[in-house]
């Protein structure tokens, strides 16, 4: 299992450097975004790394080789899911490094630091994104799943935007604030744990579906 994760890291050496550079760019690009900047940056980096990891498998048709080795298909799927957590960690570290470097060399840019809230939000968004995307890639392969990927990518931009415009509606805003009132007495840690729990549950369900799908995949 660990070996499969190591494989994804080795194959993506160059992409990792690119992702780190991309983080720098995003520190500048997202300076007007307030607290959501780290979330946007980390999600973008994780998204890139997941895409690259599947693109590499596709480019060399390497799944034929992997599935000819004494590895169970279940392990191949689980390794991909576990590597997502590694990518989240790497993206966070890359973002923090980028902000620290920007601060250290005193570039006049408004930087946003990573908070617990950012980490849990990133975890939630990435989980939502990958738990819907991965079963499709495991079913269709990277190339055929690209269409789904584009639609999903657009949805991830449009849904928050339309929610934002909906929040201008007083009735909607009231109902949301009532729902949130229920969490008023919760500490940040409790809310973070709840969101992390929901995220992990989504990933777990998605992983079970992917294992079933991949077990029947033909090459």
User: Which spans of this chain sit near other proteins (rule: CB under 8 A)?
Assistant: 3, 6-7, 10-11, 13-14, 56, 59-65, 67-72, 216, 218-219
Q: Are the C-beta atoms of 39 and 118 separated by less than 8 Å?
A: yes
* Interatomic CA distance for residues 170 and 156, integer angstroms: 24
Evaluate whether 210 touches 138 at the Cβ level (below 8 Å): yes
DSSP character at residue 71:
-
- Nearer Cβ to other proteins, position 53 or 199? 53
* Cα Rg, the chain, nearest whole Å: 19
Smallest separation, CB 17 to other proteins (Å): 13
Is residue 127 within 8 A of residue 202, CB to CB? The reply is yes
Nearer to other proteins, 41 or 213 (CB): 213
Pick between residue 69 and residue 105 the one whose CB is nearest to other proteins: 69
d(C-alpha 53, C-alpha 12), whole Å: 7
Work out how close the CB of 89 gets to other proteins at its nearest, in angstroms, rounded to a whole number: 21
Cβ 61 to other proteins shortest distance, Å: 5
Pick the closer one to other proteins by CB: 110 or 144: 144
* Residue 35: how many other CB atoms lie within 10 Å: 13
The helix/strand/coil state of 145 is: coil
The CB-of-12 to other proteins minimum distance in angstroms stands at 9
Q: How far is the CB of 143 from other proteins (least distance, A)?
A: 16
Nearer to other proteins, 12 or 127 (CB): 12
- Phi, psi angle pair for 54, to nearest 5°: -75, -35
């Amino acid at each position: 299992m660990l070996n499969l994760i190591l494989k994804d890291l080795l194959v993506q050496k160059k992409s990792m450097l690119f992702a780190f550079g991309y983080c720098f760019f995003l520190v500048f690009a997202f300076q007007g975004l307030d607290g959501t900047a780290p979330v946007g940056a980390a999600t973008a980096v994780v998204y890139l790394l997941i895409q690259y990891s599947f693109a590499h498998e596709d480019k060399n048709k390497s799944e034929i080789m992997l599935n000819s080795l004494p590895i169970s298909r279940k392990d191949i799927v689980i390794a991909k899911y576990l590597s997502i957590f590694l990518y989240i960690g790497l993206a966070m570290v890359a973002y923090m490094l980028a902000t620290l470097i920007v601060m250290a060399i005193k570039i006049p840019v408004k930087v946003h630091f990573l908070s617990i809230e950012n980490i849990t939000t990133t975890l939630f968004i990435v989980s939502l994104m990958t738990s819907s995307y991965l079963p499709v890639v495991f079913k269709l392969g990277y190339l055929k799943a690209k269409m789904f990927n584009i639609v999903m990518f657009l949805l991830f931009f449009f849904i928050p935007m339309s929610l934002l415009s909906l929040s201008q509606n007083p009735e909607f805003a009231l109902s949301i604030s009532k729902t949130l009132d229920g969490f008023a007495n919760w500490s940040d840690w409790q809310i973070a744990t709840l969101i992390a729990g929901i995220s992990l549950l989504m990933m777990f369900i998605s992983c079970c579906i992917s294992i079933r799908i991949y077990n029947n995949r033909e090459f």
